[in-house]
């Protein structure tokens, strides 16, 4: 019994350490720039009253938004153990499936939030690494011209190593971030000890006085205060990797105390030395520790960036499997962990956008204006989705649901409003990236619908076709033919072409439809559904969740349980390679149809996406007008 409990404690400790490295990298590096940005523009004067008020706001923002909303409430909304905006979207859409109009609106909202995430994915590495390298300016102003070039060098190295995978480097994430949080706490305690009265700012009284005393100034300050909770979405998104308990334990035992101590330490220092407001984080350090701190901060920001890049790969894969993005080349970087993937197109697309952001904005002060709006949009969307999950999914009373999420919605909306005013100062950048991604995702989804509708119009009923074929059956050859078809019950073009040109039919024919469902995982016990069509022909449905690997040969091997034995070496896979032809008429605008045709043409091969053996795939082309 003691061995079991010891093993459990050891496993929990390991998961908690890993959670510190991956989950809290982003929010853990926010002290580099959050407090600095509140006072950077001169709108909020550096007075004792304002310092107390801002610190009180920071503490209660961390408490309300992160501790209460995300750690205690949102983490409860797991989709079979998985979290993140797509998992929440799947939960919400399932909860309101009896209300089609509402479901469509929630899907649009969730997909927009997912698109905005890519904007966040550009800003986070840019502002994080740049804020760490800017510490060189504190060491000596002579190094200022090298800040942007060094930032680009670090980011280039980070994106170049992505193809190697993160397994080996990932083992260092937890220990490095633990050291980082300990350093945050020590730096803060040093200055709090010199001016312990700063701890009075823990009282919400100071936040209320600041907000009510000068609402206009406080409103501007909120746009920067929200930077202290950047990365809060990662708590929910990474739930499937670590579980709720390690994430909660890491937050309350290490991350939150270290962050609060550091912010209050910065405030205590500014009370005594207002001239250090230019970069209060690095000004906290003694001269001898400055360069080591810059090195540690750079490592921490690289870890924060890595976590977000990895999340971008995961979100992309999920969006592809839900049908909102075209198939992209996905490489697995680990033979043990299915979740460790590398998506070259997303990797280098993010890199190009990040380089543009660093070169255009040049400093964290300018990037901070772009940062807050992406964060607050996703916070608002998550809160909205949560309401529909707990009301229609969990069946909680209307009043309780409204009270629970309404409070958080108001908080999120206030922070969002404070960042909207910064749209023209840089907030347009992540919104523009999000809007482009949303356009691509909706164009792909709509294009696929139009294409499916056109294929149905021209399709021949499979059962009727087979009956007609077997009136005068063609020559049967040994082996199994697997025909991949997008919709059950229709005759695949590949079969028509095969009969027309080769005039033969295999001994066994499987008409396989791959279905992606709005749940993360579907087990092997529910993977395959099979129905006989006669003459050794079978209709097969393969079910996958949005986090499952769509491996068709592996799934078809499970048919042996149902009496259908398939010899892998004697099986051929037939796919229809459709060429999209945009035409004038109903459907999408002409430019969107051309965009869809281009996306369809450049999508990765279906054979690779479905894990088909390349030496056993036959592709037969056809044209589809939309």
Question: pLDDT for 44-65, tens place per residue?
Answer: 888 999 999 999 999 999 999 9
Per-residue pLDDT at 182 exceeds 90: yes
> What is the rounded CA–CA span in Å between residue 126 and residue 580?
38
Long-range CB pairs of 612-619 (<8 Å, 24+ gap) are 612/552, 612/553, 612/573, 613/553, 613/568, 613/573, 616/571, 616/572, 616/573, 617/572, 617/573, 617/575, 618/494, 618/498, 618/572, 618/573, 618/574, 618/575, 619/494, 619/574, 619/575, 619/576, 619/577
Residue pair 575/486 in contact by the 8 Å Cβ criterion: no
- Measured in whole angstroms, the distance separating CA 4 from the mean position of its chain's CA atoms is 35
Per-residue pLDDT at 334 exceeds 70: no
> What is the rounded CA–CA span in Å between residue 23 and residue 234?
6
Place of tokens 């102003």: 141
At 499 the pLDDT is 86
Give me the chain's average pLDDT, please: 86
Residue pair 333/167 in contact by the 8 Å Cβ criterion: yes
Residue pair 270/277 in contact by the 8 Å Cβ criterion: yes
Cβ neighbours for 368, distance < 8 A, ≥ 6 positions apart: 33, 37, 40, 127, 224, 227, 426
Indicate the Cα dihedral angle 586, 591, 592, 598, nearest 10°: 120
Q: pLDDT of 159-169, one tens digit each?
A: 988 887 665 55
Residue 243 has what DSSP assignment? -
Domain limits, the chain: 15-426, 457-625
Kind plus residue range of the DSSP H or E element containing 244: helix 244-250
Q: Residues of the chain with pLDDT > 70: what percent?
A: 96
Residue with the larger pLDDT of the pair 102 and 579: 102
Per-residue pLDDT at 447 exceeds 50: yes
What pTM did the predictor assign? 0.85
> What is the rounded CA–CA span in Å between residue 622 and residue 451?
12
Residue with the larger pLDDT of the pair 372 and 266: 266
Residue pair 580/622 in contact by the 8 Å Cβ criterion: no
Task: Give the relative orientation of helices 100-133 and 147-160 as an angle to the nearest 10 degrees.
Answer: 120
| Alpha helices by DSSP H, 421-561 | 428-458, 462-469, 493-502, 552-556
pLDDT band (50, 70, 90) for residue 1: very low
Residue pair 210/53 in contact by the 8 Å Cβ criterion: yes
Q: Residues of the chain with pLDDT > 90: what percent?
A: 31
Residue with the larger pLDDT of the pair 307 and 184: 184
Q: What are the distances in angstroms from CA 50 to CA 61, 191, 210, 455, 591?
A: 16, 18, 7, 65, 52
Per-residue pLDDT at 86 exceeds 90: no
Residue pair 393/380 in contact by the 8 Å Cβ criterion: no
Supply the CATH classification number for the domain 15-426.
1.20.1740
At 44 the pLDDT is 84
């Amino acid at each position: 019994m003691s061995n079991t409990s010891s093993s459990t404690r050891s496993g929990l400790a390991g998961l908690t350490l890993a959670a510190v490295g991956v989950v809290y990298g982003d929010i853990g590096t926010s002290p580099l720039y959050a407090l600095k940005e509140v006072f950077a523009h001169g709108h909020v004067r550096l007075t004792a009253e304002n310092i107390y008020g801002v610190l009180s706001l920071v503490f209660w923002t961390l408490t309300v938004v992160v501790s209460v909303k995300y750690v205690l409430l949102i983490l409860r909304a797991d989709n079979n153990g998985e979290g993140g905006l797509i998992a929440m979207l799947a939960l919400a859409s399932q909860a309101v499936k009896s209300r089609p109009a509402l479901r469509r609106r929630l899907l649009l909202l969730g997909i927009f939030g997912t698109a905005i995430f890519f904007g966040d994915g550009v800003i986070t590495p840019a502002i994080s690494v740049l804020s760490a390298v800017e510490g060189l300016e504190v060491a000596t102003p002579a190094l200022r011209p090298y800040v942007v070039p060094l930032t680009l060098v670090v980011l280039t190295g980070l994106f170049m190593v992505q193809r190697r995978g993160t397994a080996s480097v990932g083992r260092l994430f937890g220990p490095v971030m633990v050291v980082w949080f300990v350093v945050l706490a020590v730096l803060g305690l040093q200055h709090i000890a010199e001016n312990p009265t700063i701890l009075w700012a823990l009282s919400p009284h100071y936040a209320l006085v600041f907000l009510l005393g000068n609402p206009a100034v406080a409103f501007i300050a909120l746009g920067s205060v929200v930077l202290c909770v950047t990365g809060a979405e990662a708590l929910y998104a990474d739930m499937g990797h670590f579980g709720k308990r390690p994430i909660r334990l890491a937050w309350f035992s290490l991350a939150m105390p270290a962050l609060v101590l550091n912010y209050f330490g910065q405030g205590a220092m500014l009370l005594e030395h207002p001239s250090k407001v230019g970069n209060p984080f690095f000004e906290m350090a003694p001269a001898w520790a400055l360069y080591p701190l810059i090195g540690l901060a750079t490592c921490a920001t690289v870890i924060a960036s890595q976590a977000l890049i990895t999340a971008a790969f995961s979100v992309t894969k999920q969006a592809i499997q839900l049908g909102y993005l075209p198939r992209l080349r996905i490489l697995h970087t680990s033979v043990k962990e299915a979740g460790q993937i590398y998506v070259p197109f997303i990797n280098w697309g993010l890199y190009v956008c990040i380089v543009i952001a660093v070169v255009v904005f040049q400093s964290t002060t300018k990037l901070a204006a772009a940062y807050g709006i992406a964060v607050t949009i996703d916070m608002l969307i998550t809160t909205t989705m949560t309401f529909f999950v707990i009301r229609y999914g969990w069946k909680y009373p209307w009043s309780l649901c409204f009270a629970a999420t309404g409070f958080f919605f108001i908080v999120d909306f206030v922070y969002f409003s404070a960042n909207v005013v910064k749209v023209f100062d840089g907030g347009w950048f992540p919104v523009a990236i999000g809007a482009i991604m949303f356009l691509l995702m909706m164009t792909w989804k709509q294009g696929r619908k139009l294409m499916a509708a056109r294929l149905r119009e021209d399709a021949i009923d499979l059962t009727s076709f087979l009956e007609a074929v077997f009136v005068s059956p063609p020559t049967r050859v040994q082996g199994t033919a697997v025909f991949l078809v997008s919709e059950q019950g229709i005759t695949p073009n590949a079969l028509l072409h095969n009969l027309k040109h080769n005039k033969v039919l295999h001994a066994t024919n499987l008409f396989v439809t791959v279905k992606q469902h709005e749940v993360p995982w579907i087990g092997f016990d529910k993977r395959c559904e099979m129905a006989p069509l006669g003459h050794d022909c079978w209709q097969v449905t393969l079910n996958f969740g949005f986090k499952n690997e769509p491996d068709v040969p592996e799934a078809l091997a499970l048919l042996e349980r149902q009496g259908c034995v398939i010899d892998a070496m004697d099986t051929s896979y037939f796919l229809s390679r459709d060429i999209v032809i945009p035409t004038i008429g109903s459907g999408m605008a002409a430019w969107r149809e051309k965009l869809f045709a281009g996306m369809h043409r450049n999508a990765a091969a279906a054979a690779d996406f479905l894990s088909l053996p390349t030496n056993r795939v036959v592709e037969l082309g056809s044209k589809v007008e939309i």
